Structure 1
Amino acid sequence: MSKPTRPPDPGTASAPEVSGGLLMGLRVLLAVAYPVFAHLASARADGGWAAIAMADIVLLLLLEPLLKRRVWALVAVALCLACLWIVSQSRYALVPLLAPPVVFIVLAAWLFGRTLVKGRVPLITRIVEGLYAQGAMPMTPALYRYTRQLTVAWTLMLSVLAIANLALALCAVPSGLLAQLGHPVAWSVTDEQWSLFANILNYGIVGLFFFIEYQLRVRRFPHRPYRNAGQFVQQMAQLGPRFWNELLR
Protein backbone atom coordinates (compact mmCIF):
# COMPACT_ATOMS: atom_id res chain seq x y z
CA MET A 1 0.00 0.00 0.00
CA SER A 2 1.41 3.33 -0.99
CA LYS A 3 1.78 6.04 1.61
CA PRO A 4 -0.63 8.96 1.37
CA THR A 5 1.00 11.99 -0.10
CA ARG A 6 1.15 15.15 1.92
CA PRO A 7 -1.10 17.89 0.54
CA PRO A 8 0.82 20.80 -0.89
CA ASP A 9 1.34 23.86 1.26
CA PRO A 10 -1.30 26.37 0.15
CA GLY A 11 1.18 29.19 0.61
CA THR A 12 3.68 27.69 -1.85
CA ALA A 13 1.84 25.19 -4.08
CA SER A 14 0.90 27.58 -6.84
CA ALA A 15 3.71 30.08 -6.36
CA PRO A 16 4.75 31.36 -9.80
CA GLU A 17 8.37 31.39 -10.89
CA VAL A 18 9.97 34.83 -10.73
CA SER A 19 12.74 35.63 -13.22
CA GLY A 20 15.92 37.13 -11.82
CA GLY A 21 15.85 39.88 -14.44
CA LEU A 22 12.33 40.99 -13.54
CA LEU A 23 13.12 40.93 -9.83
CA MET A 24 16.30 42.97 -10.30
CA GLY A 25 14.56 45.48 -12.57
CA LEU A 26 11.73 46.10 -10.12
CA ARG A 27 14.16 46.40 -7.23
CA VAL A 28 16.18 49.01 -9.10
CA LEU A 29 13.00 50.92 -9.96
CA LEU A 30 11.84 50.94 -6.32
CA ALA A 31 15.31 51.87 -5.08
CA VAL A 32 15.50 54.82 -7.48
CA ALA A 33 11.98 55.97 -6.60
CA TYR A 34 12.54 56.04 -2.84
CA PRO A 35 14.84 59.10 -2.56
CA VAL A 36 12.49 61.07 -4.83
CA PHE A 37 9.46 60.29 -2.65
CA ALA A 38 11.42 60.88 0.56
CA HIS A 39 12.77 64.25 -0.56
CA LEU A 40 9.33 65.39 -1.70
CA ALA A 41 8.00 64.48 1.74
CA SER A 42 10.73 66.39 3.57
CA ALA A 43 10.70 69.43 1.28
CA ARG A 44 6.91 69.76 1.54
CA ALA A 45 6.55 68.50 5.12
CA ASP A 46 3.94 66.14 3.69
CA GLY A 47 2.96 63.03 5.65
CA GLY A 48 1.30 61.52 2.60
CA TRP A 49 4.53 61.52 0.61
CA ALA A 50 6.35 60.16 3.66
CA ALA A 51 3.93 57.23 3.78
CA ILE A 52 4.43 56.61 0.05
CA ALA A 53 8.22 56.65 0.51
CA MET A 54 8.11 54.15 3.36
CA ALA A 55 5.62 51.99 1.44
CA ASP A 56 8.23 51.92 -1.32
CA ILE A 57 10.72 50.48 1.18
CA VAL A 58 8.21 47.86 2.32
CA LEU A 59 7.63 46.76 -1.27
CA LEU A 60 11.37 46.68 -1.92
CA LEU A 61 11.98 44.40 1.06
CA LEU A 62 9.04 42.08 0.37
CA LEU A 63 9.12 42.16 -3.42
CA GLU A 64 10.16 38.55 -4.04
CA PRO A 65 7.57 36.90 -1.74
CA LEU A 66 4.93 39.28 -3.10
CA LEU A 67 5.66 38.23 -6.67
CA LYS A 68 5.44 34.62 -5.52
CA ARG A 69 2.04 35.42 -3.97
CA ARG A 70 3.01 34.44 -0.46
CA VAL A 71 0.01 35.05 1.81
CA TRP A 72 2.17 36.16 4.74
CA ALA A 73 3.79 38.82 2.55
CA LEU A 74 0.41 40.20 1.47
CA VAL A 75 -0.71 40.34 5.10
CA ALA A 76 2.55 42.02 6.14
CA VAL A 77 2.20 44.67 3.43
CA ALA A 78 -1.41 45.36 4.40
CA LEU A 79 -0.44 45.79 8.06
CA CYS A 80 2.50 48.02 7.18
CA LEU A 81 0.37 50.21 4.93
CA ALA A 82 -2.22 50.60 7.69
CA CYS A 83 0.48 51.60 10.18
CA LEU A 84 2.03 54.04 7.70
CA TRP A 85 -1.35 55.69 7.10
CA ILE A 86 -1.85 56.14 10.86
CA VAL A 87 1.64 57.61 11.31
CA SER A 88 1.17 59.91 8.30
CA GLN A 89 -1.69 61.62 10.13
CA SER A 90 0.44 62.35 13.21
CA ARG A 91 3.20 64.79 14.13
CA TYR A 92 5.67 61.93 13.66
CA ALA A 93 4.88 61.55 9.95
CA LEU A 94 8.40 62.39 8.76
CA VAL A 95 10.31 60.60 11.53
CA PRO A 96 10.42 57.15 9.81
CA LEU A 97 12.27 58.77 6.90
CA LEU A 98 15.28 59.30 9.16
CA ALA A 99 16.03 55.58 9.34
CA PRO A 100 16.64 54.31 5.77
CA PRO A 101 19.64 56.55 4.89
CA VAL A 102 21.38 55.37 8.06
CA VAL A 103 20.29 51.73 8.13
CA PHE A 104 20.92 50.95 4.47
CA ILE A 105 24.31 52.70 4.37
CA VAL A 106 25.37 50.86 7.54
CA LEU A 107 24.23 47.60 5.93
CA ALA A 108 26.24 48.37 2.79
CA ALA A 109 29.35 49.18 4.87
CA TRP A 110 28.87 45.92 6.78
CA LEU A 111 28.60 43.92 3.54
CA PHE A 112 32.01 45.25 2.51
CA GLY A 113 33.63 45.19 5.94
CA ARG A 114 32.62 41.65 6.94
CA THR A 115 34.66 40.24 4.05
CA LEU A 116 37.86 41.80 5.40
CA VAL A 117 38.13 39.40 8.35
CA LYS A 118 40.77 36.68 8.27
CA GLY A 119 39.79 33.68 6.19
CA ARG A 120 37.39 35.53 3.88
CA VAL A 121 37.89 36.94 0.40
CA PRO A 122 37.32 40.73 0.21
CA LEU A 123 34.11 41.60 -1.57
CA ILE A 124 35.75 43.61 -4.38
CA THR A 125 38.28 40.82 -4.88
CA ARG A 126 35.49 38.29 -5.43
CA ILE A 127 33.80 40.55 -7.97
CA VAL A 128 37.03 41.17 -9.88
CA GLU A 129 37.86 37.44 -9.79
CA GLY A 130 34.48 36.80 -11.40
CA LEU A 131 35.08 39.41 -14.10
CA TYR A 132 38.58 38.17 -14.89
CA ALA A 133 37.48 34.53 -14.95
CA GLN A 134 34.66 35.52 -17.31
CA GLY A 135 37.23 37.18 -19.58
CA ALA A 136 39.71 34.27 -19.25
CA MET A 137 42.33 36.59 -17.76
CA PRO A 138 44.57 35.80 -14.76
CA MET A 139 44.54 37.72 -11.49
CA THR A 140 47.87 39.26 -10.44
CA PRO A 141 49.26 39.81 -6.91
CA ALA A 142 49.02 43.57 -7.49
CA LEU A 143 45.35 43.21 -8.38
CA TYR A 144 44.69 41.16 -5.24
CA ARG A 145 46.32 43.87 -3.11
CA TYR A 146 44.44 46.65 -4.88
CA THR A 147 41.03 44.99 -4.57
CA ARG A 148 41.53 44.40 -0.86
CA GLN A 149 42.54 48.04 -0.35
CA LEU A 150 39.53 49.12 -2.38
CA THR A 151 37.22 47.02 -0.20
CA VAL A 152 38.68 48.80 2.85
CA ALA A 153 38.15 52.18 1.16
CA TRP A 154 34.48 51.43 0.38
CA THR A 155 33.93 50.26 3.96
CA LEU A 156 35.41 53.47 5.39
CA MET A 157 33.63 55.78 2.96
CA LEU A 158 30.23 54.20 3.61
CA SER A 159 30.82 54.23 7.37
CA VAL A 160 31.61 57.95 7.32
CA LEU A 161 28.54 58.57 5.19
CA ALA A 162 26.34 56.66 7.64
CA ILE A 163 27.73 58.66 10.57
CA ALA A 164 27.05 61.92 8.73
CA ASN A 165 23.49 60.82 7.95
CA LEU A 166 22.91 59.92 11.60
CA ALA A 167 24.33 63.23 12.83
CA LEU A 168 22.06 65.21 10.51
CA ALA A 169 19.07 63.04 11.47
CA LEU A 170 19.70 63.97 15.10
CA CYS A 171 20.00 67.69 14.33
CA ALA A 172 17.16 68.13 11.82
CA VAL A 173 14.37 70.51 12.85
CA PRO A 174 11.47 70.02 13.32
CA SER A 175 11.41 66.27 12.52
CA GLY A 176 14.85 65.20 13.77
CA LEU A 177 15.28 62.78 16.64
CA LEU A 178 16.45 65.35 19.20
CA ALA A 179 13.69 67.81 18.32
CA GLN A 180 11.04 65.08 18.50
CA LEU A 181 12.31 64.07 21.95
CA GLY A 182 12.12 67.67 23.14
CA HIS A 183 15.87 68.18 23.50
CA PRO A 184 17.39 71.54 22.52
CA VAL A 185 19.44 71.41 19.33
CA ALA A 186 22.58 73.56 19.50
CA TRP A 187 23.30 73.20 15.79
CA SER A 188 20.45 72.40 13.47
CA VAL A 189 19.53 71.86 9.85
CA THR A 190 16.09 71.96 8.30
CA ASP A 191 14.30 68.78 7.29
CA GLU A 192 14.80 69.76 3.66
CA GLN A 193 18.55 70.27 4.13
CA TRP A 194 18.84 66.90 5.87
CA SER A 195 16.94 65.23 3.05
CA LEU A 196 19.01 66.94 0.37
CA PHE A 197 22.14 65.38 1.84
CA ALA A 198 20.75 62.00 2.93
CA ASN A 199 18.45 61.28 -0.01
CA ILE A 200 20.15 63.10 -2.90
CA LEU A 201 23.79 64.01 -2.25
CA ASN A 202 24.59 60.57 -0.82
CA TYR A 203 24.15 59.11 -4.29
CA GLY A 204 26.33 61.84 -5.79
CA ILE A 205 29.10 61.14 -3.27
CA VAL A 206 28.99 57.40 -3.96
CA GLY A 207 28.95 58.07 -7.72
CA LEU A 208 31.91 60.48 -7.46
CA PHE A 209 33.86 57.95 -5.38
CA PHE A 210 33.22 55.26 -7.99
CA PHE A 211 34.16 57.62 -10.86
CA ILE A 212 37.48 58.65 -9.30
CA GLU A 213 38.34 55.07 -8.38
CA TYR A 214 37.50 53.85 -11.88
CA GLN A 215 39.80 56.44 -13.46
CA LEU A 216 42.64 55.36 -11.15
CA ARG A 217 41.95 51.69 -11.88
CA VAL A 218 42.05 51.96 -15.66
CA ARG A 219 45.41 53.74 -15.50
CA ARG A 220 46.92 51.32 -13.02
CA PHE A 221 45.59 48.17 -14.72
CA PRO A 222 45.49 48.77 -18.49
CA HIS A 223 45.12 45.05 -19.23
CA ARG A 224 41.61 44.19 -18.08
CA PRO A 225 38.58 42.28 -19.45
CA TYR A 226 36.56 45.46 -20.20
CA ARG A 227 37.42 48.47 -22.35
CA ASN A 228 35.19 51.15 -20.85
CA ALA A 229 32.72 51.86 -18.05
CA GLY A 230 29.74 50.74 -20.13
CA GLN A 231 31.32 47.37 -20.84
CA PHE A 232 32.31 47.08 -17.18
CA VAL A 233 28.68 47.48 -16.08
CA GLN A 234 27.55 45.04 -18.80
CA GLN A 235 30.01 42.39 -17.66
CA MET A 236 29.00 42.92 -14.04
CA ALA A 237 25.41 42.15 -15.06
CA GLN A 238 26.55 39.08 -17.01
CA LEU A 239 27.89 37.54 -13.81
CA GLY A 240 24.25 36.65 -13.17
CA PRO A 241 21.81 36.60 -10.24
CA ARG A 242 23.32 33.43 -8.77
CA PHE A 243 26.75 35.05 -8.45
CA TRP A 244 25.34 38.15 -6.76
CA ASN A 245 23.11 36.14 -4.42
CA GLU A 246 26.07 34.04 -3.29
CA LEU A 247 28.24 37.15 -2.96
CA LEU A 248 25.82 38.84 -0.58
CA ARG A 249 25.25 35.82 1.68
Structure 2
Amino acid sequence: MNPASHEPGHGPVALALRVILLLAYPVLSHVASLRSEGAWAALALFGLVLLCLLEPLARRRASAWLALFASGLLLYGVGASRWAWMLLLAPPVVFPLLVAWGFARSLLPGRVPLIGRIVQALYQRAGMPVTAVLERYTRRLTAAWALVLSLLAAINLGLAMSAVPDGLLAAFGLQPWWPVTHEQWSWCANIADWGLIGGFFALEYAVRSRLFPTRPYRNALDFMRQMGQLGPVFWRDLLR
Protein backbone atom coordinates (compact mmCIF):
# COMPACT_ATOMS: atom_id res chain seq x y z
CA MET A 1 0.00 0.00 0.00
CA ASN A 2 1.23 3.46 -0.85
CA PRO A 3 2.26 5.24 2.39
CA ALA A 4 0.99 8.50 0.91
CA SER A 5 -2.56 7.16 1.18
CA HIS A 6 -2.28 7.58 4.97
CA GLU A 7 -1.34 11.24 4.72
CA PRO A 8 -4.10 13.78 5.43
CA GLY A 9 -5.85 14.76 2.23
CA HIS A 10 -4.51 11.80 0.21
CA GLY A 11 -6.76 8.89 1.17
CA PRO A 12 -9.59 7.34 -0.87
CA VAL A 13 -12.19 9.56 0.82
CA ALA A 14 -10.24 12.69 -0.13
CA LEU A 15 -9.84 11.41 -3.69
CA ALA A 16 -13.58 10.72 -3.97
CA LEU A 17 -14.36 14.18 -2.60
CA ARG A 18 -12.02 15.77 -5.14
CA VAL A 19 -13.73 13.95 -7.99
CA ILE A 20 -17.18 14.95 -6.71
CA LEU A 21 -16.20 18.61 -6.34
CA LEU A 22 -14.49 18.64 -9.74
CA LEU A 23 -17.58 17.20 -11.45
CA ALA A 24 -19.98 19.35 -9.44
CA TYR A 25 -18.42 22.68 -10.43
CA PRO A 26 -19.35 22.73 -14.16
CA VAL A 27 -22.84 21.42 -13.30
CA LEU A 28 -23.48 24.11 -10.68
CA SER A 29 -21.93 26.76 -12.90
CA HIS A 30 -24.15 25.70 -15.79
CA VAL A 31 -27.26 25.80 -13.59
CA ALA A 32 -26.27 29.26 -12.39
CA SER A 33 -25.95 30.42 -15.99
CA LEU A 34 -29.28 28.93 -17.06
CA ARG A 35 -31.15 30.40 -14.09
CA SER A 36 -29.10 33.61 -13.83
CA GLU A 37 -29.15 33.24 -10.05
CA GLY A 38 -26.24 34.42 -7.97
CA ALA A 39 -26.84 31.86 -5.22
CA TRP A 40 -26.04 28.99 -7.60
CA ALA A 41 -22.97 30.83 -8.82
CA ALA A 42 -21.80 31.40 -5.25
CA LEU A 43 -22.33 27.70 -4.47
CA ALA A 44 -20.31 26.66 -7.53
CA LEU A 45 -17.46 28.97 -6.58
CA PHE A 46 -17.50 27.82 -2.95
CA GLY A 47 -17.13 24.22 -4.14
CA LEU A 48 -14.14 25.30 -6.22
CA VAL A 49 -12.56 27.02 -3.23
CA LEU A 50 -13.13 23.88 -1.14
CA LEU A 51 -11.48 21.78 -3.86
CA CYS A 52 -8.38 24.00 -3.85
CA LEU A 53 -8.14 24.00 -0.03
CA LEU A 54 -8.91 20.34 0.54
CA GLU A 55 -5.39 19.20 1.40
CA PRO A 56 -4.50 22.00 3.88
CA LEU A 57 -7.96 21.64 5.43
CA ALA A 58 -7.28 17.94 5.99
CA ARG A 59 -3.99 18.92 7.65
CA ARG A 60 -5.98 21.21 9.97
CA ARG A 61 -4.12 24.32 8.98
CA ALA A 62 -5.73 27.35 10.58
CA SER A 63 -4.97 29.55 7.57
CA ALA A 64 -6.90 27.18 5.27
CA TRP A 65 -9.95 27.12 7.54
CA LEU A 66 -9.80 30.91 7.83
CA ALA A 67 -9.58 31.23 4.04
CA LEU A 68 -12.56 28.90 3.59
CA PHE A 69 -14.62 30.82 6.15
CA ALA A 70 -13.71 34.19 4.60
CA SER A 71 -14.50 32.89 1.10
CA GLY A 72 -17.85 31.59 2.30
CA LEU A 73 -18.75 34.95 3.82
CA LEU A 74 -17.64 36.83 0.70
CA LEU A 75 -19.58 34.55 -1.67
CA TYR A 76 -22.65 34.70 0.56
CA GLY A 77 -22.46 38.48 0.44
CA VAL A 78 -22.18 38.67 -3.35
CA GLY A 79 -24.64 35.85 -3.99
CA ALA A 80 -27.52 38.30 -4.33
CA SER A 81 -25.68 40.48 -6.84
CA ARG A 82 -24.54 40.16 -10.45
CA TRP A 83 -20.93 39.94 -9.27
CA ALA A 84 -21.43 36.31 -8.26
CA TRP A 85 -22.15 35.32 -11.86
CA MET A 86 -19.32 37.52 -13.14
CA LEU A 87 -16.88 35.63 -10.92
CA LEU A 88 -17.80 32.45 -12.82
CA LEU A 89 -16.14 33.95 -15.88
CA ALA A 90 -12.69 33.64 -14.29
CA PRO A 91 -12.09 29.89 -13.67
CA PRO A 92 -12.42 28.77 -17.35
CA VAL A 93 -9.70 31.30 -18.17
CA VAL A 94 -7.43 31.06 -15.13
CA PHE A 95 -7.26 27.30 -14.59
CA PRO A 96 -6.43 26.24 -18.19
CA LEU A 97 -3.83 29.02 -18.28
CA LEU A 98 -2.21 27.81 -15.05
CA VAL A 99 -2.05 24.23 -16.30
CA ALA A 100 -0.72 25.40 -19.67
CA TRP A 101 2.01 27.30 -17.85
CA GLY A 102 2.89 24.10 -15.96
CA PHE A 103 3.30 22.25 -19.27
CA ALA A 104 5.27 25.07 -20.88
CA ARG A 105 7.54 25.62 -17.88
CA SER A 106 8.60 21.97 -17.95
CA LEU A 107 10.03 22.54 -21.44
CA LEU A 108 12.65 24.98 -20.16
CA PRO A 109 16.32 23.89 -20.36
CA GLY A 110 17.36 21.59 -17.54
CA ARG A 111 13.80 20.38 -16.84
CA VAL A 112 12.03 17.17 -17.80
CA PRO A 113 8.90 17.71 -19.94
CA LEU A 114 5.77 17.09 -17.93
CA ILE A 115 4.50 14.29 -20.18
CA GLY A 116 7.99 12.80 -20.06
CA ARG A 117 7.80 12.54 -16.26
CA ILE A 118 4.51 10.66 -16.50
CA VAL A 119 5.84 8.31 -19.18
CA GLN A 120 9.03 7.65 -17.23
CA ALA A 121 7.02 6.78 -14.13
CA LEU A 122 4.72 4.40 -16.03
CA TYR A 123 7.56 2.68 -17.89
CA GLN A 124 9.69 2.44 -14.76
CA ARG A 125 6.89 0.64 -12.90
CA ALA A 126 6.70 -1.88 -15.75
CA GLY A 127 10.50 -2.26 -16.04
CA MET A 128 10.49 -0.99 -19.63
CA PRO A 129 13.02 1.42 -21.17
CA VAL A 130 12.06 4.83 -22.53
CA THR A 131 13.53 5.21 -26.01
CA ALA A 132 14.94 8.42 -27.47
CA VAL A 133 12.09 8.48 -30.00
CA LEU A 134 9.54 8.31 -27.19
CA GLU A 135 11.34 11.06 -25.28
CA ARG A 136 11.12 13.35 -28.32
CA TYR A 137 7.43 12.49 -28.66
CA THR A 138 6.73 13.36 -25.01
CA ARG A 139 8.43 16.75 -25.45
CA ARG A 140 6.31 17.55 -28.50
CA LEU A 141 3.18 16.33 -26.77
CA THR A 142 3.92 18.50 -23.73
CA ALA A 143 4.22 21.51 -26.04
CA ALA A 144 0.97 20.52 -27.79
CA TRP A 145 -0.93 20.39 -24.48
CA ALA A 146 0.47 23.79 -23.51
CA LEU A 147 -0.74 25.21 -26.82
CA VAL A 148 -4.19 23.57 -26.65
CA LEU A 149 -4.84 24.78 -23.09
CA SER A 150 -3.57 28.28 -23.90
CA LEU A 151 -5.92 28.48 -26.89
CA LEU A 152 -8.76 27.22 -24.70
CA ALA A 153 -8.05 29.95 -22.14
CA ALA A 154 -7.95 32.56 -24.92
CA ILE A 155 -11.30 31.38 -26.31
CA ASN A 156 -12.86 31.46 -22.84
CA LEU A 157 -11.49 34.97 -22.30
CA GLY A 158 -13.11 36.08 -25.55
CA LEU A 159 -16.40 34.56 -24.44
CA ALA A 160 -16.12 36.21 -21.03
CA MET A 161 -15.60 39.57 -22.72
CA SER A 162 -18.57 39.00 -25.05
CA ALA A 163 -21.09 37.76 -22.47
CA VAL A 164 -24.16 39.93 -21.95
CA PRO A 165 -25.47 41.52 -19.88
CA ASP A 166 -22.77 40.86 -17.27
CA GLY A 167 -19.61 40.17 -19.27
CA LEU A 168 -16.30 41.99 -18.98
CA LEU A 169 -16.95 44.49 -21.77
CA ALA A 170 -20.54 45.10 -20.68
CA ALA A 171 -19.32 45.82 -17.14
CA PHE A 172 -17.44 48.82 -18.56
CA GLY A 173 -20.39 49.96 -20.66
CA LEU A 174 -18.99 48.60 -23.93
CA GLN A 175 -21.02 46.66 -26.48
CA PRO A 176 -19.40 43.35 -27.49
CA TRP A 177 -18.88 42.83 -31.21
CA TRP A 178 -20.26 39.29 -30.94
CA PRO A 179 -22.51 39.13 -27.84
CA VAL A 180 -23.30 35.78 -26.23
CA THR A 181 -25.88 35.00 -23.55
CA HIS A 182 -25.15 33.45 -20.16
CA GLU A 183 -26.46 30.13 -21.47
CA GLN A 184 -24.30 30.21 -24.60
CA TRP A 185 -21.22 31.09 -22.56
CA SER A 186 -21.91 28.21 -20.19
CA TRP A 187 -22.37 25.62 -22.94
CA CYS A 188 -18.94 26.58 -24.25
CA ALA A 189 -17.04 27.14 -20.98
CA ASN A 190 -18.59 24.38 -18.86
CA ILE A 191 -19.49 21.70 -21.41
CA ALA A 192 -17.65 22.12 -24.71
CA ASP A 193 -14.29 22.69 -23.00
CA TRP A 194 -14.37 19.19 -21.52
CA GLY A 195 -15.39 17.77 -24.89
CA LEU A 196 -12.45 19.45 -26.61
CA ILE A 197 -9.99 18.25 -23.97
CA GLY A 198 -11.41 14.72 -24.11
CA GLY A 199 -11.34 14.75 -27.92
CA PHE A 200 -7.70 15.83 -28.02
CA PHE A 201 -6.81 13.17 -25.46
CA ALA A 202 -8.58 10.45 -27.49
CA LEU A 203 -6.96 11.56 -30.75
CA GLU A 204 -3.50 11.66 -29.19
CA TYR A 205 -3.99 8.22 -27.62
CA ALA A 206 -4.91 6.77 -31.03
CA VAL A 207 -1.80 8.31 -32.61
CA ARG A 208 0.39 7.11 -29.73
CA SER A 209 -0.98 3.57 -30.03
CA ARG A 210 0.08 3.41 -33.68
CA LEU A 211 3.51 4.96 -33.12
CA PHE A 212 4.36 2.95 -29.99
CA PRO A 213 2.59 -0.44 -30.09
CA THR A 214 4.80 -1.82 -27.29
CA ARG A 215 3.77 -0.08 -24.08
CA PRO A 216 3.13 -0.93 -20.40
CA TYR A 217 -0.68 -0.69 -20.63
CA ARG A 218 -3.17 -2.74 -22.65
CA ASN A 219 -5.78 -0.14 -23.55
CA ALA A 220 -7.09 3.31 -22.63
CA LEU A 221 -8.83 2.07 -19.47
CA ASP A 222 -5.69 0.29 -18.29
CA PHE A 223 -3.72 3.45 -19.08
CA MET A 224 -6.04 5.52 -16.86
CA ARG A 225 -5.89 2.89 -14.12
CA GLN A 226 -2.09 2.88 -14.11
CA MET A 227 -2.05 6.69 -14.14
CA GLY A 228 -4.13 6.62 -10.95
CA GLN A 229 -1.76 4.09 -9.38
CA LEU A 230 1.11 6.55 -9.62
CA GLY A 231 -0.29 7.98 -6.40
CA PRO A 232 -1.57 11.33 -5.13
CA VAL A 233 1.88 12.62 -4.15
CA PHE A 234 3.15 12.14 -7.71
CA TRP A 235 0.22 14.13 -9.14
CA ARG A 236 0.45 16.77 -6.44
CA ASP A 237 4.10 17.44 -7.23
CA LEU A 238 3.79 17.12 -11.02
CA LEU A 239 3.01 20.78 -11.76
CA ARG A 240 5.30 22.22 -9.09
Q: TM-score range by the shorter chain?
A: over 0.9
Name 2:197's counterpart in structure 1.
206
SS of residue in 1 equivalent to 2:83: coil
Relative to 1, partners in 2 of residues 1:245 and 1:75: Cα closer, same or farther, differing over 3 Å? Answer: closer
1:98, distance to aligned residue in structure 2 (A): 0.4
Letter in 2 for 1:213: E
Does residue 39 of the first structure (1) align with residue 33 of the second (2)? Answer: no
Please list every run of 5 or more consecutive structure 2 residues that lacks an aligned counterpart in the other structure. Answer: 1-6
Letter in 2 for 1:171: S
Relative to 1, partners in 2 of residues 1:248 and 1:93: Cα closer, same or farther, differing over 3 Å? Answer: closer
Question: Using the alignment, how far apart are the partners of 1:71 and 1:246 within structure 2?
Answer: 23
Match of 2:119 among 128, 141, 147: 128
Choose between structure 1 and 2 for higher RCO, CA contacts under 8 A separated by at least 6 residues: 2
Question: Using the alignment, how far apart are the partners of 2:59 and 2:135 within structure 1?
Answer: 40
Relative to 1, partners in 2 of residues 1:19 and 1:124: Cα closer, same or farther, differing over 3 Å? Answer: closer
Question: Using the alignment, how far apart are the partners of 1:233 and 1:119 within structure 2?
Answer: 28
Does residue 237 of the first structure (1) align with residue 228 of the second (2)? Answer: yes
Question: Using the alignment, how far apart are the partners of 1:232 and 1:33 within structure 2?
Answer: 25
Question: Using the alignment, how far apart are the partners of 1:208 and 1:17 within structure 2?
Answer: 34
Matches within 5 A, 1:30-109: 30-109=21-100
Name 2:17's counterpart in structure 1.
26
1:208, distance to aligned residue in structure 2 (A): 0.3
1:70, distance to aligned residue in structure 2 (A): 2.7
Letter in 2 for 1:78: F
Name 1:247's counterpart in structure 2.
238
SS of residue in 2 equivalent to 1:225: coil
1:29, distance to aligned residue in structure 2 (A): 1.4
SS of residue in 2 equivalent to 1:75: helix
Does residue 151 of the first structure (1) align with residue 142 of the second (2)? Answer: yes
Letter in 2 for 1:106: L
Does residue 119 of the first structure (1) align with residue 115 of the second (2)? Answer: no
Which structure is larger by alpha-carbon Rg, 1 or 2? Answer: 1
Question: Using the alignment, how far apart are the partners of 1:78 and 1:241 within structure 2?
Answer: 26
Match of 1:224 among 198, 215, 218: 215
1:41, distance to aligned residue in structure 2 (A): 0.3
Question: Using the alignment, how far apart are the partners of 2:131 and 2:232 within structure 1?
Answer: 26
Question: Using the alignment, how far apart are the partners of 1:113 and 1:18 within structure 2?
Answer: 28
The percent identity for this pair of structures is 54
Question: Using the alignment, how far apart are the partners of 1:34 and 1:237 within structure 2?
Answer: 22
Name 1:11's counterpart in structure 2.
none
Question: Using the alignment, how far apart are the partners of 2:40 and 2:136 within structure 1?
Answer: 46
1:99, distance to aligned residue in structure 2 (A): 0.4
Question: Using the alignment, how far apart are the partners of 1:71 and 1:238 within structure 2?
Answer: 31
Q: Do 2:42 and 2:76's aligned partners in 1 also have CA atoms closer than 8 Å?
A: yes
Letter in 2 for 1:32: L
Question: Using the alignment, how far apart are the partners of 1:69 and 1:83 within structure 2?
Answer: 22
Cα distance per residue 1:14-42 (max 9 Å; x no partner): xx944443333221211111000001001
Q: Which moved more, 1:184-193 or 1:36-45?
A: 184-193
Number of residue pairs aligned between Structure 1 and Structure 2: 234
1:242, distance to aligned residue in structure 2 (A): 2.5
1:61, distance to aligned residue in structure 2 (A): 1.2
Q: TM-score when scaled to structure 2?
A: 0.93
Name 1:190's counterpart in structure 2.
181
Name 1:7's counterpart in structure 2.
none
